[in-house]
Amino acid sequence: MRPMSSTVVIVGAGIYGLTAALELRGRGHRVQLLDPGPLPHPLAESTDISKAIRLDYGPDEDYLALMETALTRWRQWNTEWPEPLFHETGVVFLCRAPLQPGGFEYESLRLLLQHGHRPHRLNADDIAQRYPAWKSAGYTDGYFNPVGGYAYSGQVMTWLLQQAQALDVELSEGQTFERFIESHNKVTGVVTRAGSRFEGESVVIATGAWTPHILQSSMPEMTGVFRSNGMPVFHLKPSQPELFCAEVFPVFGADVTLTGYYGFPLHPINGVVKIADHGPGRHLPPESLERNVTEAETTRLRAFLAETLPALADAPITYTRACIYCDTWDGHFWIARHPERAGLVVATGGSGHGFKFAPVLGGLIADVVEGQTNPYLHKFRWRPEVRPARSEEAARHQE
């Protein structure tokens, strides 16, 4: 039985907050959505020209199953938009050495086949013939998955915002979280920096990379559970754009657990190739307005391009950005109630791969708010005890 309608205060109007607001409003709740603005926020992780949409998650069957559901909805959304914002170009994962059991690409391929998908295994000759930009790169193994591609993420965020406004979500821009309103271990609202009070039966913290800093000030026991991590993003202008159109250059991962590099086909409007490094990253406070990539990150990119995509090796870099994610120790979402502060839900973590789950993310959050059962929520539970050293593979496979 679904709970009676209530008032839910959501702090943060990024992909977590917006999708949660839409789902909760659709379930009959009053929703107050707060954000410093402007919206979509230019520094949010999902406010970008593109984000990958893929099924490939190594041996993690939970994410594969969730994405199978999300992909159906992505395709449905395409029919609701004036023009498609999700482009199903397929996704290719290439490796220099043969795929091995236990490796990200091998396990992704195995699970895809197990679930009835039909990825195409590729050898060195296949790669050279199908993907001319990679001819000199020395990649010898991999696969192409025709399911998946990329979405115009910034435009999707704008559309979600419009949907929220149409459904009478009470949106308050210019509001920055200051502290919780609570009594007897129950959170009943928030006070913003402007002195405004927003009260409800539940409060959802969906503040992305800002989450570690909000919780550190109000919950010292959570220090170190989350980390704001900056990853370099580059836009390059190729001199041979025909090599990078989607038909011969789909969304890719380039030996991604070793290099961290992934990228996108030529953007049909901007005429750029977006390439990013989702490796371990560097600690970068989200309140910093300095989102520049470093000289070392640029040098590393140039070396990668010279040995992997030589037609881009000297291409002009037209834009750079240090995209800041909120990371958890295990790389998984954190969508859970606080075990000792009734009414408080935290929805964040694994932000590098949150956007692709947009069609199902709000439902996961709403289930937690309502206390509903969901087979995936144990994975995203409240787990401050999980603090192993974060492996490079965990860091890299999530985007």
Residue 391: the pLDDT is 42
Say whether pLDDT at 155 is over 60: yes
Say whether pLDDT at 390 is over 50: no
Say whether pLDDT at 32 is over 50: yes
Residues in contact with 269: Cβ distance below 8 Å, sequence separation at least 6, in sequence order: none
Say whether pLDDT at 373 is over 90: yes
Q: Cis link prior to 38 (omega < 30° from 0)?
A: yes
Residue 284: the pLDDT is 80
Amino acid, res. 359: P
Averaged pLDDT of the chain: 92
Residue 1: the pLDDT is 61
Residue 2: the pLDDT is 65
* pLDDT tier at 228, thresholds 50, 70, 90: confident
Residues 346-350 have a mean pLDDT of 88
Residue 290: the pLDDT is 66
Q: Cis link prior to 132 (omega < 30° from 0)?
A: no
Measured CA to CA, the distance from residue 365 to residue 61 in angstroms comes to 20
Which residue spans of the chain are classified as CATH 3.30.9.10?
75-149+227-328
- Write the CATH number of the domain with boundaries 7-45+154-226+329-396: 3.50.50.60
Helix crossing, 358-370 with 15-26: angle to 10°?
60
Which of 291, 157, 155, 150 is closest to 234 using CA atoms?
291
Model pLDDT for residues 246-267, shown as the tens digit of each residue: 999 999 999 999 999 999 999 9
Contact 226, 328 (CB under 8 A): yes
Is the domain 75-149+227-328 a CATH 3.30.420.130 member?
A: no
What's the order of all strands across the beta sheet hosting 7-11? 170-173, 30-35, 7-11, 202-205, 344-348, 334-337
Say whether pLDDT at 395 is over 70: no
Residues 34-55 have a mean pLDDT of 89
Measured CA to CA, the distance from residue 235 to residue 149 in angstroms comes to 18
Helix (H) or strand (E) holding 317: strand 317-328
pTM of the model: 0.94
Residue 227: the pLDDT is 85
Measured CA to CA, the distance from residue 157 to residue 355 in angstroms comes to 10
Say whether pLDDT at 136 is over 80: no
Q: Above pLDDT 90, what percent of the chain?
A: 78
- Angle, alpha carbons 69-87-119 (nearest 5°): 65
Say whether pLDDT at 393 is over 60: no
Residue 353: the pLDDT is 81
Measured CA to CA, the distance from residue 304 to residue 310 in angstroms comes to 9
Which residue spans of the chain are classified as CATH 3.50.50.60?
7-45+154-226+329-396
What are the residues facing 221 on neighbouring strands?
none
Contact 347, 203 (CB under 8 A): no
Which of 223, 217, 172 is closest to 198 using CA atoms?
172
Measured CA to CA, the distance from residue 362 to residue 196 in angstroms comes to 26
Say whether pLDDT at 137 is over 70: yes
Give percent helix, percent strand, percent coil of the chain, each to the nearest 5: 35, 25, 40
Say whether pLDDT at 10 is over 70: yes
Contact 239, 315 (CB under 8 A): yes
Say whether pLDDT at 196 is over 70: yes
Model pLDDT for residues 87-125, shown as the tens digit of each residue: 999 999 999 999 999 999 999 999 999 999 999 999 999
Helix crossing, 61-80 with 358-370: angle to 10°?
110
What are the residues facing 91 on neighbouring strands?
145, 251
* Phi, psi angle pair for 301, to nearest 5°: -60, -45
Say whether pLDDT at 337 is over 60: yes
Measured CA to CA, the distance from residue 301 to residue 261 in angstroms comes to 9
Transcribe 64-115 into DSSP letters: HHHHHHHHHHHHHHHHHSSS--EE---EEEEESS---TTSHHHHHHHHHHHT
Q: Which of the 8 DSSP states describes residue 201?
A: S
Tokens of 20: 């949660």
Model pLDDT for residues 274-305, shown as the tens digit of each residue: 999 987 778 887 766 567 899 999 999 999 99
Place of tokens 């990013």: 276
Pairing of strands 202-205, 226-236: unpaired
